[in-house]
Amino acid sequence: MREGTTYREAMRLAIREAMIADERVFVMGEDVADYGGTYAVTMGLLEEFGPERIRNTPLSESGFVGAGIGAALGGMRPIVEIMTVNFSLLALDQIVNTASTLRHMSGGQFSVPLVIRMTTGAGRQLAAQHSHSLECWFAHVPGLKVVAPATVEDARWMLPAALADPDPVIIFEHSGLYPMTGSMGEGPVDLVSAAVRRAGSDLTLVASAGMVPKALAAADQLEMEGLSIEVIDLRSLRPLDRSALQRSVERTHRALVVDEGWRSVGLSAEVAASITESCFYHLDAPVGRLASAEVPIPYAKHLEEAAIPQVDDIVAAARMVLGGGMVRDGGIVHA
Amino acid sequence: MREGTTYREAMRLAIREAMIADERVFVMGEDVADYGGTYAVTMGLLEEFGPERIRNTPLSESGFVGAGIGAALGGMRPIVEIMTVNFSLLALDQIVNTASTLRHMSGGQFSVPLVIRMTTGAGRQLAAQHSHSLECWFAHVPGLKVVAPATVEDARWMLPAALADPDPVIIFEHSGLYPMTGSMGEGPVDLVSAAVRRAGSDLTLVASAGMVPKALAAADQLEMEGLSIEVIDLRSLRPLDRSALQRSVERTHRALVVDEGWRSVGLSAEVAASITESCFYHLDAPVGRLASAEVPIPYAKHLEEAAIPQVDDIVAAARMVLGGGMVRDGGIVHA
Amino acid sequence: MTVDRRQVLDNMIRIRVFEERCAELYGQSKIRGFLHLYIGEEAIAAAILPQLRSTDAFLGTYREHGHALIRGVPAGSIMAEMFGKATGCSGGRGGSMHLFDASRRFYGGNAIVGGHLPLAVGLALADTMANRSEVVTACFFGEGAMAEGEFHESINLAALWNLPVLFCCENNRYAMGTSLASSESQTDLALKASAYGLPAWTVDGMDPDAVAAATAKALTSIRGGGGPVFLECKTYRFRPHSMFDPDLYRPAEEVEEWKQRDPITAFAERLTLEGVVDADVVDAMWDAARDEVERAVVEAEAAPFESIDRLLDHVTTQVRS
Amino acid sequence: MTVDRRQVLDNMIRIRVFEERCAELYGQSKIRGFLHLYIGEEAIAAAILPQLRSTDAFLGTYREHGHALIRGVPAGSIMAEMFGKATGCSGGRGGSMHLFDASRRFYGGNAIVGGHLPLAVGLALADTMANRSEVVTACFFGEGAMAEGEFHESINLAALWNLPVLFCCENNRYAMGTSLASSESQTDLALKASAYGLPAWTVDGMDPDAVAAATAKALTSIRGGGGPVFLECKTYRFRPHSMFDPDLYRPAEEVEEWKQRDPITAFAERLTLEGVVDADVVDAMWDAARDEVERAVVEAEAAPFESIDRLLDHVTTQVRS
Ligand SMILES: Cc1ncc(C[n+]2csc(CCOP(=O)(O)OP(=O)(O)O)c2C)c(N)n1
Ligand SMILES: Cc1ncc(C[n+]2csc(CCOP(=O)(O)OP(=O)(O)O)c2C)c(N)n1
Ligand SMILES: [Mg+2]
Ligand SMILES: [Mg+2]
């Protein structure tokens, strides 16, 4: 009976299974132990595996992320949890200057088989310092692999794939998805391909992480107007599955990219540029981009909602692309 | 007699003038004092202004960048020097979580009139940890203004404009440009508009910082083949001067973006996406992107050169765009 | 400076009443996001903040309602902020973790643990460079912040440059669910701080008199040009870390033991014994605090939300036309 | 473990000869990028590294030619690396600042000041968790790194978790042009480190015997499960920070004074006086070192450059087909 598992439980199951299967695997991060994880992902694991392997750290993001890199170099398979992407800003030196470069700088002598999990996204009124969606920064860096599970199945199966990978893998979990239920499937899954979550022929909607359920809801709504929308879940943000995007848009001739991150120089730009490069002569309209308003995420609920793409915004933007128009540049202000 | 000033001297002159004009202005950073600045930009200023205003800091990027934010809040006009963008990874929490958000989070009560200068770019065989071009990360963040002087004139005049701005401004100086000579002009300059550095009608070449001289050289070469190339220097990376790009490409119908940063999810993606959005029905070919190979920059000279766009690569890519083709995705490996 | 001990008691009561009401309002979904209560720790803010001058600068953490209140930010504007209203002290953009008040040199409200420490250094540097004499920057932080690199870098800068900063560590023994002993190899925090070469003292943070006395000494030294001082106040939070915290990591008995040391009860008793107050005075304080908070709630309820058209305001200084 | 003092002298000579040749080759543009010489500081690597076992892990800074050499990385492969050749110990990708040798547990060569300290913690953690007993991770860094947050976070983790790390601070008094006194509010670095609750000692880094003795004691303690040890070696770099440094920040007399204390001269004299070596032995050491380096140069010259087709190798594990 696999229906009805939550994204959170799927993640926890994945960690637990990995720890049982391989004693080199351990979890390290702030409040992963007694507290049970900020988002309760590691709840109960301390009791089962003890404090060595469910290892609480002091508040020292650079220190424990770097220690994870070192432990990976030393033969372990650490799963480092950074509470949220907001705090990863304190650890970027280690991630970018060390984890992503070591293999290359050493001429291929060293692997860093490290998995970093962190939550991303807004939507909980946590305001500007707790609501970043900075996946795009990581997706820019050679030497990293970056994935964003948007389904319970990926929450369950991306972790073992990441642990099996000899290179550093960053898993972005969207904090809004933890209570979502769904089927875990049978696994395994890969870390490189995009998935068509819904087939369609009039427009390709590209989304990732927390935007996938919204894109699907928007597609349902548009279907009632007789429009056939294909929804692609990027799954892997680095590498991007450019050929999946190409295949889809060559059929639909139109695309809209939806991104919870800010618009300028973000993920949506790369997806739009990539589709345009590969499908230029197939496109009936410019690729649309719908991203978060270019503002630090405000606390007030109505302002926060207005800042982030909502289902209605996606519907409106899709209609715009279908009409051949350009999705308005800059933040969309919602009615 | 203003001809022949170097980019380095222009920068120094700008600092010196600002310090004479406004006693709230001071310089803070690693080795700005006795050492004279890693790139000798502040050489001689300690003697003139003393150690309070040419303030050496310990190695603590997060600490002194944050102290710069605090000093700005406290009414000073700090110029914080981060030696290179590579080390700014240690200060990103302060820049993104504090400097860029304070105004918004406080409902507009606080300004952060801080100027951060840092060098960027590769080309000096300094290898993976000293060769990043991460301008695109900063250009993604609302609340920041990001500029990249590519001429001696901008090196001279962007600083006073940045100091006059009530918001945090990041100035990226390309380390390869310091010895470049040119005219300083009369100033002032703005921090928001792109500049046409060379007019042309067949193709718009878009570049910034260290890629501008290369783009100009490539344009000269192509002119000998009878091709008329327009070269646009972005100058401001946030905000982007999207209308300047649009105006140019509406005339030329073709564009190639050249970027020293990595290709995926970088600055070139935004420029390409933006041009495509505004000029879709004017474009005769997909916007080309020529960026650095997706590899941590290697030490060996021939490998480093191969990793970064060179004049010949620009010429080749421009021909490709002019032929209606697509500039090859992923890193270009040079012949 | 001598503190008015009655005022200190009153301060504690005001914070307590304000925050207990906040907890209720959270239950009613009037307040959202993260809400971190200071209940149990009131003695610290109550005894230190009255000793600061209006010219001094102040920085707190995300657990800063009490500090804002005692700094003088009107309860109504704090409450409106937590309701997400346009009249809130941060225009509804900040919420509980980001209270600000420029007119009172209150620089927030910071939700990055340790993130405000470098700002404190910079503010003190600005005051020093501008020759604003006797001005102090007071920066409050939890003991959890001391493991962060930003603590290390900031306290070194302040000590190295002899800046007028009061570093006030509110050591409530836990950083979320992480106990001090599992966070610091050196749990004697004053000893740890003293290694940076600045005066570092520990006081009982449940005792407002002790806190006030140490603070007075520290401020005199700082205002006199003696450089930064580190003050550890040992305290305890009676509530979970935030409204999301299941509070599984500490024994209920430990919480109960500390609650026996409730700083308000203890201080009210002491002042009563000493004849400084009597039961009526104390009751009147509670009543006035309740009044204040109820007025704040009414004000916050009545206040307007910001127009969505102003979503993009305050990103950079140029306001959209 | 007792060190062979003749070997220590030989080690110092090998480093000196190697690096003086590097400086020449830099002048000839054979070596490019940054080049940081260790000249003057040789006693530290020369006396510590022979005491490490092949099972121990080692991490250094960008000033690590000497360490690589004494760790056993062949001079030819270091030189080839600096020439940017495919046969270099990092395949020509790293250069002077990024020497690596997996077979010797030599984890680099790191060019971010302080950036390797967390790695040391992690390596020691891995050894501990995998029950590899008596294994030590030795991590060398300059005194400038101690102001960085990464130092603070790393040493706390190591002490908190009682990990087998030797923290070796090469205090050469300057971080580029910044003197210790303008970098640290606490210039007694062992005192500063001891605040983390671990043994912390200072030794004369110009005296190989002192360094060797302190190291032996530290290693015994660490291998025995005593947790990390911090060792400050007071030293001086005779050359500018890098080949780009105009060296304006320190008086020429200061440099001269320190040069009088050249560790090689002094130690050779001491060993001669004690009858451990004689002039012939010492001469032979210099000759052998020169031979070694010349062979390395010839080897590096003759080595092939990496094919540009392999530019994208080693980014992720999957090699392009
Ligand atoms: C850099 C950073 N890491 C993690 C968090 C999540 N977090 C919020 S509060 C907190 C505990 C802080 O403890 P302490 O400093 O002792 O303050 P207290 O909450 O006890 O007052 C943590 C881990 C954060 N906000 N910032
Ligand atoms: C994080 C960081 N900031 C700045 C630099 C530039 N830099 C390189 S070496 C150095 C001085 C380091 O001094 P120290 O740690 O004492 O080592 P030493 O060079 O004296 O051996 C600096 C500032 C850097 N490489 N990394
Ligand atoms: Mg605490
Ligand atoms: Mg040094």
pLDDT tens digits along A76-94: 999 999 999 999 999 999 9
pLDDT of C243-266, one tens digit each? Answer: 999 999 999 999 999 999 999 999
Strands (E), chain A: 5-6, 25-29, 54-56, 77-84, 115-120, 145-147, 169-174, 181-182, 195-198, 203-207, 229-233, 236-238, 255-262, 288-292
Question: Which residue has its alpha carbon closest to ligand 2 atom 21?
Answer: D142
B: neighbours with 3+ CB pairs under 8 Å?
A, C, D
Which chain D residue has its CA at the smallest distance from B34's CA?
D249
pLDDT at residue B328, as a whole number: 64
pTM above 0.90, yes or no: yes
Contact check, Cβ <8 Å, C154/B66 = yes
pLDDT at C48 over 90: yes
**Is there an atom of ligand 2 within 6 Å of D113 CB?**
yes
- Across the range C179-188, mean pLDDT stands at 98
Q: What is the pLDDT of residues B153-197, one digit of tens each?
A: 999 999 999 999 999 999 999 999 999 999 999 999 999 999 999
At A331 the pLDDT is: 40
B333 has pLDDT over 60:
no
pLDDT band at C59 (very low <50, low <70, confident <90, very high): very high
Question: How many Å from the N-terminal Cα to the C-terminal Cα in chain A?
Answer: 43
Please state, in angstroms and rounded to a whole number, the distance separating the CA atoms of residues C136 and C53.
Answer: 8
> Which DSSP letter does residue A230 get?
E
> In chain C, at which residue ranges do the beta strands (DSSP E only) sit?
57-59, 137-142, 165-171, 174-175, 178-179, 200-204, 229-234
* Per-residue tokens: C233: 């106040």
> Which has more pLDDT, A334 or B21?
B21
Question: With b meaning 16 or more CB within 10 Å and e meaning fewer, what string describes D265-298?
Answer: eebbebbeeeeebeeeebeebbeebbebbeebbe
- Please give the Cα distance from B94 to B73 (Å, whole number): 13
Q: Would the CB atoms of D149 and B63 count as touching at under 8 Å?
A: yes
Partners of B72 on chain C (C-beta within 8 Å) are 122, 126
Cis, bond preceding B239 (omega within 30 deg of 0)? yes
Give the residue among D97, D262, D59, D249 at the shortest CA–CA distance from D173: D249
Q: Nearest CA of chain A to the CA of C73: how many Å?
A: 19
C63 CA → ligand 1 middle, Å: 10
What whole-number distance in Å separates Cα of residue C24 and Cα of residue D207?
68
Spatial separation of the C-alpha atoms in residues D104 and D112, rounded to whole Å: 22
Active site residue ranges of B: 61, 130
Nearest atom, ligand 1, residue C172 CA = 20
Task: Assess whether the C-beta atom of B81 lies below 6 angstroms from ligand 2.
Answer: no
Write down the pLDDT at residue B327.
77
D110 neighbourhood in chain A, CB within 8 Å: 98
Backbone angles phi, psi at B259, to 5 degrees: -140, 135
Compute, in angstroms, the gap from residue D174 CA to the centroid of ligand 4. 4
pLDDT tens digits for range C278-318: 999 999 999 999 999 999 999 999 999 999 999 999 999 97
Contact D93 B62 (CB under 8 A): no
The SS3 call for residue B292 is: strand
* Least Cα separation, residue A78 to chain C (angstroms): 19
Average pLDDT, chain B: 96
Question: Rounded to the nearest whole angstrom, what is the distance from the C-alpha of residue B30 to the centroid of ligand 2?
Answer: 9
- Ligand 1 centre from B236 Cα, in Å? 36
D129-146 core/surface letters (b: 16 or more CB in 10 A; e: else): beeeeebbbbbbbbbbbb
Q: With a cut of 90, say whether residue B113 has pLDDT above it.
A: yes
Pairing of strands B145-147, B181-182: unpaired
Q: At what angle do helices C279-302 and C5-27 cross, to 10 degrees?
A: 40
Answer yes or no: is the C-beta of D174 below 6 A from any ligand 2 atom: yes
What is the CA angle C295-C298-C303, rounded to 5? 125
Nearest atom (ligand 1) to Cα of C146: 15
**D176 contact residues in B (CB cutoff 8 A):** 30-31, 35, 38
- How many whole angstroms separate alpha carbon D19 and alpha carbon D164? 31
Write out the two tokens for C58: 């102040």
Under 8 Å CB pairs connecting chains B and D tally to 132
CB A261 within 8 A of CB A267: yes
Residues of C in contact with A56 (CB under 8 A): 177-178, 182
Give per-residue pLDDT as tens, A286-317: 999 999 999 999 999 999 999 999 999 999 99
What is the model's pLDDT at position B3? 63
> Does D279 contact A at CB distance below 8 Å?
no
Chain-chain contact of B128 with D93 (C-beta, under 8 angstroms): yes
The residue of chain B nearest to residue C55, with distances taken between CA atoms, is B74
Structure confidence at residue A324 (pLDDT): 76
Q: Decide if A142 and D315 are in contact by the 8 Å CB cutoff.
A: yes
At residue A325, the pLDDT reads 74
The 3-state DSSP class for residue C180 equals helix
Q: Is C150 on the interface with D (CB under 8 A)?
A: yes
Predicted confidence at residue B334, as pLDDT, reads 36
For B126-146, what is each residue's pLDDT tens digit? 999 999 999 999 999 999 999
pLDDT, tens digit, for every residue of D110-162?
Answer: 999 999 999 999 999 999 999 999 999 999 999 999 999 999 999 999 999 99
Contacts of D150 in chain C (CB under 8 A): 149
Average pLDDT over residues D2-21: 97
> What H or E segment, with its residue span, contains residue B234?
none
Cα dihedral angle (D87, D88, D94, D99), rounded to 10 degrees? 150
Confidence of residue C1 (pLDDT cuts 50, 70, 90): low
Q: Looking at the CA of A94, which ligand is closest?
A: 2
Compute the distance between CA of residue C59 and CA of residue C63 in angstroms, rounded to an integer: 11
Alpha helices in B4-44 (DSSP H): 7-21
Question: So what's the ipTM on this one?
Answer: 0.98
CA B122 to centroid of ligand 1, rounded, Å: 38
The catalytic residue positions of A are 61, 130
For residues A60 and C147, the answer to whether their CB atoms sit within 8 Å is yes
Cα(C240)–Cα(C246) distance, rounded to whole angstroms?
Answer: 7
Under 8 Å between Cβ of B309 and B328: no
Q: Do C160 and D192 touch (CB under 8 A)?
A: no
> What does the alpha-carbon distance between residue C224 and residue D174 come to, in Å, rounded to a whole number?
32
Which tens digit of pLDDT belongs to each residue from B221-270? Answer: 999 999 999 999 999 999 999 999 999 999 999 999 999 999 999 999 99
Kindly state the helix (H) or strand (E) to which residue D209 belongs, with its residue range: helix D208-223
**Using the beta-carbon criterion (under 8 Å), do B126 and D306 form an inter-chain contact?**
no
Tokens 């033969």, residue located: A75
Please judge whether C123 and B68 are an interchain contact, meaning their C-beta atoms are less than 8 angstroms apart: no
Packing angle of the helix pair B61-73, C149-160 (nearest 10 deg): 60
Q: Can you tell me the mean pLDDT for C97-122?
A: 98
Task: Please give the distance, rounded to the nearest whole angstrom, from the Cα atom of residue A11 to the centre of ligand 1.
Answer: 24
* pLDDT surpasses 80 at A2: no
Give which of B155, B132, B141, B24 is closest to B93, Cα–Cα: B141
Contact at 8 Å (CB) between C185 and A58? no
A32 interaction partners in chain C (CB closer than 8 Å): none
Mutate to test the pocket of ligand 1, among C42, C113, C143, C173 (most ligand atoms within 8 A of CB): C113
d(CA B96, CA B144): 8
Atom 12, ligand 1: residue with shortest CA distance: C175
Average pLDDT (D269-276) is 98
Question: pLDDT (tens digit, 9 = 90+) per residue, C68-86?
Answer: 999 999 999 999 999 999 9
Give the mutation candidate from C178, C244, C305, C318 for the A interface (greatest A CB count, under 10 A): C178
Query: Which of ligand 2's atoms lies nearest the C-alpha of D176?
Result: 11
Confidence at residue A328, expressed as pLDDT on a 0 to 100 scale: 64
C279-302 vs C263-273: helix axis angle to the nearest 10? 140
Of D39, D113, D179, the residue with max ligand 2 atoms within 8 A of its CB, to mutate for a pocket test, comes to D113
Mutate to test the pocket of ligand 2, among D176, D184, D236 (most ligand atoms within 8 A of CB): D176
Please list every protein residue whose CB sits less than 6 Å from any atom of ligand 1. A 30, 59, 83, 87, 90; C 63, 111-113, 142-145, 170, 172, 174-176, 241
- Residue B331 pLDDT greater than 50, yes or no: no
Q: Which of D149, D156, D185 sits opposite C185 (nearest CB)?
A: D156
Contacts of D81 in chain B (CB under 8 A): 299
